[in-house]
A and B are shown apart, each in its own frame.
Chain A
Amino acid sequence: MNGVVLPVVLPLLAAFLMQPLAHKSGVTARLLGPLVLAIGLAMLVQTWHLAQTDPFTVTFGGFAPPLGIVFYVDRLALIFAIAAQLFTLLLWGWSMDAQFDGEKKAREDALMLLLAASATGLALSGDLFNVYVFYELMAVSSFGLVVLKDTGPAQIATLRYLLISAFGSVIALLGIAFLYAQTGTLNLAQLGELAPKALHGPAGLAAFAFMLIGFGVKAELFPVNTWVPEVYAVAPARIAGLLAGLISKLAALVVLRLLVVVYQDTPAPQLLLVLGTLTVLVGDFSAWRSKDFPRMISYSSIAQLGLVFIGFSIPGPLGVLAGLSVALHHLLIKSGMFMLATRWSGSLDRLAGCAKSAPVATGLYLLFALSLVGVPPMPGFWAKLLIMTGLAQEGSVVYLVALGVVLLGSIVKVHYLFRFALKLYGRADLPPVRHSLMELGPAALIGIAIIAATIFTVPIGERLRAVAEQAADRDAYISTVFPDHKTAAVSEDRR
C-alpha cells in the first residue's frame, strides 16, 4: 500500500539521473522516462482495487498524520494520478529529428518526468503545504517545457507566465499562512475538523479567496488567466495539450478538495460560482473572436475550466459529479485538439479545405467538436446536462444566472466551432497540411476513447457517481486520516 509513493518518487529519481546517464548511454536515457512512467502507471492501476471500497492513507517517515505529511488515496485522487502518468506518456516527445541533440533531449525528458511526478503528488497529497510545493514544481517544470521551442515569442510568453505564476504563488502562500494562523495545522483532514469553529468566519473565507486566486493561475480562473492564450500559442502543441488538459485539472482538484473538506456549508462556493461564470463568459467570447486555431482552442479551454468550477460550486455529490465529468471530458478532448494543432498551427483561413487533404484529422476534429458542444449521445452532453440540472436544482438567483450563462456559452461555442468546421470543408487555396503518424496517433486514441465513452455511458456514469460520492464525503475523509479521532480531542483541550 505504501508503494503508492513510488509513482511520485521514481520519476524524480529518474529525472535526477537523466543527464549523467545521457552522457554514458543516450539510448538508455531516452528509454528511461517512458519506462518509469509505465511502471508508475501499472502500480497506480493496481492500487485502484485497494481503494475500491475504502480510501486509505499513506504516511511518510512513520509519523502519524497531523505531524507528518500524508497521502490520501481515494478513487478521485487515483483517477487524476493515473491520468497524470498516462497523459505524460501519451504526449511524450518522441523526437524523430535528424539533428538530434542528446543533451537538450535529456533535459526535456527530465522536465517531463518532474511534471508527471509533481502532478501525481498533487493529486494524492493530503497536506496543504505539500500541495503548494508540488504546485511550484509543476509550475517551474512547465516554464521549461513552454520555453523549449526557443523562439523569441516563446521566451516572452514564458516570462509573462512566470510573473503571473510567481504572484499567484505568493498569494496562495499567504492564504495557507492565514489558514495556519487560525488553526495551527496544515493537514487537510484536521483543517476540516477544525473548520466549523475556526475557519467559517470572514478571515477563513478570505484565506480561501487567496488560495483560489493563487491556485487559480494554473486552473485558468478568470482574473489570472491572461497567460493562457499567449502560452498555448507559442508552446509546443503537445505541451499546450498537457497544460490545458492535465495541469489545469489538477489545480482545480486542489480547489475541490479545499471546498469539500474545509469549506462545506459556507459562502465559499458562491465566490467560486461567480468567478467560474465570468470565466465561461470571457473564454467563450474571446474564442469566438479569435482568428487562429491554437488560440481558439485555448480560449475554449478557459471556458471549459469555468464550467468545471461552476460544477464544483454546486454543493453535494451532484456538484462533484458534474464538475468531475466535465473535467475528465475536457481532459480527453483538449489533449486531442492540441495534438491536431501541432500541424494546424496557423490562422483559421489558412486551414481552409483541409477536409480533403487530411480527412482523418478533420474527422477527429468533428468528433471532438460534437462532444465539446454537447450533442446528445456524446459524453459531453451528459456532462453539461449534469451541470444544468445541478444549477436548476439550486434555484437561487445566482445559480440561475449561471445557468443562463452556460446556455449562452454553449450557443457561442456551437457557432465558433462549426464556423471552423465549415471552413475545413471549404475550398482549398493553399497547399494541404498533413499530420505525421506520431501526432495523429494519440489524437486517434483519444477519439476511440470518446467513442467508447459514448457507447458505455451508463456503466461509466455509475462508476463516476460512486467516485463522486466517495469524494464528497467530508466525514469519511476525516475519519480515514484520523481513525481514532484522538487528535480531535487533543485539539479540543488546547483551545
Chain B
Amino acid sequence: MNHATQHLGPTVVHAAGYLWLIPLFPAVGAIINSLLGTRIQRNLGKRWNHAIAIGMMTLSFLTALRAFAQMVALPGDERFLQNTLWNMLTAGQMQFDLAFALDPLSMMMVLIITFIGTLIHVFSVGYMADEPSYWRFFAYLNLFVFAMLLLVMGDNFAVMFFGWEGVGLASYLLISFWYTDIEKAQAGMKAFVVNRFGDFGFILGLFLLFWSLGGIWEPRADARSVTYVPEIGYKADPAAQNPFESTGPRAVVVDGHAVKVGPTLNFRELRDQVVIEATGVGEHLRHQKLWGVALLTLVGMLMFVGAMGKSAQLPLYVWLPDAMAGPTPVSALIHAATMVTAGVYMVARLSYIYAMSPTAMGWVATIGVLTAFFAATIGFFQYDIKKVLAYSTVSQLGIMFIGVGVGAYWAGTYHLLTHAFFKATLFLGSGSVILGCHHEQDMRKMGGLKKLMPVTAWTYLVATWAIAGFPWASGFFSKDEILWKAFTQRGMELFGVPAPWLGPAIFVIGILAATGTSFYMFRSYYMTFTGHYRGGAGHDEEHGEDPHSAHAAPHHAPAAAHAPAAAHGHDDHAAHGHAAPAAAHGVHAAPAHATHAAPAHDDHGHHGGPPHESPRSITWVLATLAFGAVAVSFLGIPLLWTGHAPILEHWLAPALPAEVTFLHFGHATEWLFQGMGVAAATIGWFFAMKLFKDGQSRVPHDLKHRFFGFWTVVYNKYYVDEAYHALVIRPSLFLAAFLSWFDQHVIDWLVNFAGWLARVFAAIDDAIDKYVVDGAVNGVGGLTREGGRVLRRIETGRIQTYLYGAAFGSLLVVLLNFLFR
C-alpha cells in the first residue's frame, strides 16, 4: 500500500465570492414557504408556492453552472473554489468559519443535487397537486436541498456536519410528512434516531482525527487521564501551550508554500498536511496507536459508522425501507439520489485518510459488499414496489462502498452519479405508477400498465436496464469498474490481518449481488407493466397480509401505547389516495378535491377507475432522467475501450489525491470480467422474464410454498427490526423506566429523609424529656425508696422533674469542667 505522493503540492485556492448563493437560494425558498406558505397558498394559490420553490432551485442550479464554468476554465490541479463568510467559532485549538468550497468532487455533487433536485421539484408539482399542506412540502424540499448543499460544499467538517444533520432533519420531516398516520410519523423518528447512532460514531472519529493531528493536548497535572500521548514532533508549539490566544494550526513551509500543520477541521488544511509528505503528518498519523489499534483504522472505522447511518449500510440500514413512508418524490430525491450517498461522498472526500489504513478500506468494502448482497436477497420477494426500490438502493449503496472501499474512489463516485440518475428515474416511475393506480403500491395489484402508461413504462425499462448493468446504460460502466477494481485489489486487511483474498471474494459476492439486482428489478418491471391489470380492488385487503403490517408493531419505537393508533393509520392515507386521480386528469390544484378527499374515501373501492398516464410535468421529468441515465455513461467509458482514462476519472483526479495500487492483468482478463458482468445481468433478466413475464407462470407461487419458511424469513427482512426492538429499544426503555423509579424513590428519598430525620430527632428529644428525665427521676426515687425506708414515699410533679433536670445538668457541667484539661 503506498501513500500520499510527493508531487502533490498544497491546494491552490481560487476565491469565488458567490458560492454562498448556491445554498442560500433554497434556504430563502424554505424560509418564505415555511413562514408565509399558508398565506400564499390561501391567497395566491398553490402555483406560487411551487413557483417560489422551483424558482429558487433553478437559480441555485444556474449559480452552480456558473461555478462549473469557472472551474472548467482553471488548470486541472488548481480546480478549487473557496468562499468564506464569517468566523463561526474560535476556541482553543478549534477554529472554523462558515465557508464553502468546491473541488471537482463536490462540484459534481452540487450539479447532481441542484439538477435532479430541480427536476424532482417539478415532478412534485404534479404528484402533490392535491396535498392540503402543499406549502409545507415545498418548504421541506427546499430545506433539504439547502442542507444537502451545505453538506457537500462545506469547507470544513463543521459545515459539512451542519449539512449532515440538516439532511437528517429534512428527511425526518419529509418521511413523517403525512404525520397523521402514526406509522409514517414513527418511520421518520426511526430514521432520525438511527442516523444519530451513526453520527455518534462519526463525531468520535472526527475528534480522534482532530486531536491526533497536531496532537496538541492540554498539559494536565493528572496525565493518566490522557490516554494518548502524541509524538514529539507534534507537541504543541509554545503558542499552543499558552491558552491565551487560541492556537490554530501552525505553519510549516513546504517548497515555498506555507502548509498549516496541527488540529484542524478544515478539509483543505487537513488534506495538505496529510498528503504532503514533507510535513511528516502522514507518517506521524500512520504510526499512532490507540489501545494498540492503529489510530487511522479507528478513525476510518468510526467515521464509516456515520456513513453506515446516512447511507443505510448494515447494520444501520433499517430506517431506509421505512423511509418509503414519505411521498415518492422524497424517496427519489433524498432516499435514492442524494442524501443516502452522503456517506460515499464522505469516504471519497477523505480518500487520503482511508488510503492510509488497509483495515479501514477492508472494513468499508466488506460492509459494502455484505450490504449489497443482503439487501438484494430481501429485494427478491417484496411486493411493495417502493420497498423493492428501497432495498435495491441499499444494495446499490453497498456497491458504491465497495468502490470507495477498495480504493477505486472515482469509480465509487461514478456509481453514485449513475445511480442518482437511474434510481431517480425508477422512483419517479414508481411514483407515476402509484399515482396512476390510485396510490396502490402493491405490485400484485398492478400489471399490464405498459399500454396504459407508455412513457412511464419505457423510462422505467431504461432505468431497469441501467441498474441491471447492460452495456451502454450507465450502470454497466460504473458497476463493472468497481467490481474489476475490487478483484484487482489485494492490499486490504481485515481487522489488522492482511487479507489478499478479500478483493476476489468481494468480487464474487458482488457479482452475485449484481445478478440478484438484475433479477428483482426485472421482476418488478414485469410484474408492474406486463400482463393484464389486476388492480382496482381497492385497499381493504391490502393491509391484511401487507408486508409491513407484519413488522409494524416492532418499530413503533417506544410507542407501545400506540399500537391501536397504528391500526387506523390508513384511512387518512387513503384520503390522500383519493385526491390523486383529480391530479391525474390534469385538473391542477383544485382545492375542492382536497376538501372532498376525506369523505370521498368511504366509497373508494369502486371509485378506482382504470390506471392512466401521468400529467406532462411528470412524464417530461421521467424522460429527462431516463435520458440522463443513459447519457452519463459517456463519462465513464473505460480506458480499455477508448485507450485513455474515463472523463470523470480525469475530472475527479485532483479531488482524490490518494493513490492506491492494484494488480495488473492483461486486457483479456479485463474483457472477460466485463463479460461476466453482462452475463450476470443476463441471467438475472432471464429468470425474471421466465418467472414473472405477463404474470402467467405459476412457478413463483409454487416455489414460495415449497420454501415457505425461508420465504417468510426473507420476506420479513430476516426479522432485523424485531431484533433491534428486542435488543436495543426494549432494554433502553426498561433502563429509563427503572432509573426514573430510582430517581423518585431513592434519590428523592434522601431529602425527605433529611426532613424525616429532623422530625425523628424532635421526637427523640421529646422522649428524652418525657421518659429519660422522668425515668431518671423515678429511678432516683426508686433508689431512695430502696435506700432509706425511713424516708416517706416520694412523689414528684413536673416542675420537680425540671429541677431534677437542672440539678443533674449542673452536675454534668461541673464534671465537664474537669473533663477539659
Are these two chains actual partners, yes or no? no
